[in-house]
């Protein structure tokens, strides 16, 4: 009997794990934009895909390279770009959220040390159910809009 | 007679339409970028790491002017990377006829020395300048550029909302056109070539 309950508990844990937000979200093309010299902040971009059946929210982000990590967006108000924090980034069921230049981003504020191209920044995303996921984002030089950062060759 | 009435009606309707065009403004009152016509632009002198920089120092060259700040984590790098990539599409002869001036509207944090390193990261031919808040406000107004400090509890204490277009100034210092934010490099290069002719 005891063995069965342990087994059951184990099953429930794995079922719970399967349903966790972190597991239904996959991350594509994560990168951190290399901060120009003297720029104290930079942004990380990625595409978050939700393969699950329910909407998921990213509630916060953390990373070891900056003192602060925040979720931000840009509002384009007649050509005036306004950057504002957002409480969460929603990823619809079977949908995706695009974090890209000019829009949503993970903001890395007050960098502890200068970065260099090719560094990898582990960014921890925490979801609304408390589950989390670490995304390894490579540091890439800023490129012009429409130029995919990942296709930079050397 | 009926023709006169008809003409009268047409004239009345036309006046009404023109009136509507003038007065009907669905935009927010905050609207700052006139879509039709260019701002006056004109002369300015600001401080670079190598001393004062005036627009008139660049007579004979096409000058791209951009208003931003180095704490800007996304918009400015995208604009400057686009401009730099556009410059890289020019041949050396064309490039020699173009200057890029990055005007920081955040003089409290952006010293000329900081600005120099910042802009040269994007392209060696870019010049970074700033000045007193009063001077900057007056220049930005003439160029039709908008910026406003926002006390957002983020991004190092405050963020600066700002217009994100690049102004194209002609060889005689006259305002010519604007390049949209995030314009791809080939568009930047095409606009430069168009204006160099
Ligand atoms: Cu931001």
Which CATH number is B109's domain given? 3.40.30.10
Q: Which residues of B touch A98 (CB under 8 A)?
A: none
Instruction: Classify domain A20-137 by CATH number.
Output: 2.60.40.1890
Considering the domain boundaries, does residue B164 fall inside one?
Answer: yes
Q: How far is CA A4 from CA A8, A14, B62, B160, in A?
A: 6, 15, 80, 61
- The predicted model gives A106-119 an average pLDDT of 93
* Residue closest to B162 by CA, chosen among B68, B40, B74: B68
Q: Please compute the mean of the pLDDT values over residues A11-31 and round it to a whole number.
A: 76
Q: What is the chain B residue with the closest CA to A148?
A: B184
User: Cβ contact (<8 Å) for A83 and B118?
Assistant: no
- Grade residue A39 by pLDDT with cuts at 50, 70 and 90: confident
What is the CA(B130)–ligand 1 centre distance, in A? Answer: 23
Q: Which of B27, B74, B122 sits opposite A101 (nearest CB)?
A: B74
Residue B2 lies in a domain: no
Query: Looking at beta carbons, which residues of chain B come within 8 Å of A109?
Result: 154-156
Whole-Å CA distances, A67 to A39, A52, A60, A64: 14, 32, 14, 8
Is B123 part of any domain?
yes
Q: How far is B55 from chain A (nearest CA, A)?
A: 24
Q: If DSSP codes are grouped into helix, strand and coil, which group holds residue A136?
A: strand
Looking at the structure of chain B, the number of domains it has is 1
Give chain B's mean pLDDT: 84
Which residues lie closer than 8 Å to B143 by C-beta, 6 or more apart?
Answer: B39, B40, B41, B65, B67, B167, B175
Model confidence, pTM = 0.78
Q: Where are the domains of chain A?
A: 20-137
Q: Which of A40, A42, A85 sits opposite B152 (nearest CB)?
A: A85
Distance B137 CA to ligand 1 centre (A): 24
CB contact under 8 A, A144 and B81: yes
Average pLDDT (A116-145) is: 95
> What's the confidence (pLDDT) of residue B72?
82
Rounded mean pLDDT of B9-18? 53
Query: pLDDT exceeding 70 applies to what percent of chain B?
Result: 78
Assess if residue B84 is contained within a domain: yes
Q: What kind and span of H or E run contains A73?
A: strand A66-77
Output B33 or A58, whichever has higher pLDDT: A58
Shortest alpha-carbon distance between residue B57 and chain A (Å): 27
Q: Is residue A36 within 8 Å of B121, Cβ to Cβ?
A: yes
Best CA proximity match to B145, nearest among B165, B129, B168: B165
Q: Count the alpha carbons within 13 Å of A16 in the hemisphere toward its beta carbon.
A: 9
Is B124 near chain A, with CB under 8 Å?
no
- Average pLDDT value for chain A: 86
Print the domain residue range for B62: 45-196
Is there a domain that residue B142 lies in? Answer: yes
């Amino acid at each position: 009997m005891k063995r069965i309950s342990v087994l059951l508990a184990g099953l429930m844990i794995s079922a719970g794990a399967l349903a966790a937000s972190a597991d239904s979200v996959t991350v594509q093309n994560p990168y951190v934009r290399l901060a120009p010299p003297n720029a104290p902040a930079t942004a990380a971009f990625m595409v978050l895909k939700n393969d699950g059946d329910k909407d998921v929210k990213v509630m916060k982000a953390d990373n070891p390279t900056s003192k602060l990590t925040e979720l931000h967006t840009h509002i384009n108000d007649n050509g005036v770009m306004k950057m504002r924090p957002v409480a969460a980034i929603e990823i619809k069921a079977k949908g995706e959220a695009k974090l890209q230049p000019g829009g949503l981003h993970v903001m890395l504020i007050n960098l502890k040390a200068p970065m260099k191209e090719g560094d990898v920044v582990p960014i921890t995303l925490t979801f609304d159910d408390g589950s989390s996921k670490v995304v390894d984002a490579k540091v890439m030089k800023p490129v012009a809009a429409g130029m995919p950062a990942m296709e930079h060759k050397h | 007679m009926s023709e006169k009435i008809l003409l009268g009606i047409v004239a009345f309707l036309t006046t009404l339409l023109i009136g509507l065009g003038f007065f009907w403004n669905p935009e927010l009152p905050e609207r700052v970028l006139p879509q039709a016509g260019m701002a006056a632009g004109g002369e300015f002198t600001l401080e670079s790491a190598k001393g004062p920089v005036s627009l008139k120092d660049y007579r004979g060259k096409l000058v791209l002017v951009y208003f931003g700040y180095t704490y800007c984590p996304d918009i400015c790098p995208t604009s400057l990377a686009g401009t730099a990539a556009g410059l890289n599409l020019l041949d050396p002869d064309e490039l020699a006829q173009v200057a890029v001036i990055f005007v920081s509207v955040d003089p409290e944090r952006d010293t000329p020395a900081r600005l120099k390193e910042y802009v040269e990261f994007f392209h060696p031919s870019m010049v970074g300048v700033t000045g007193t808040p009063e001077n900057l406000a007056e220049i930005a107004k003439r160029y039709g550029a908008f910026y406003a400090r926002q006390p957002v509890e983020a991004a190092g204490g405050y963020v600066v909302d700002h217009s994100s277009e690049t102004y194209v100034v002609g060889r005689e210092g006259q305002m010519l056109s604007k390049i949209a934010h995030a314009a791809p490099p080939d568009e930047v290069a095409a606009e430069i070539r168009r204006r160099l002719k």
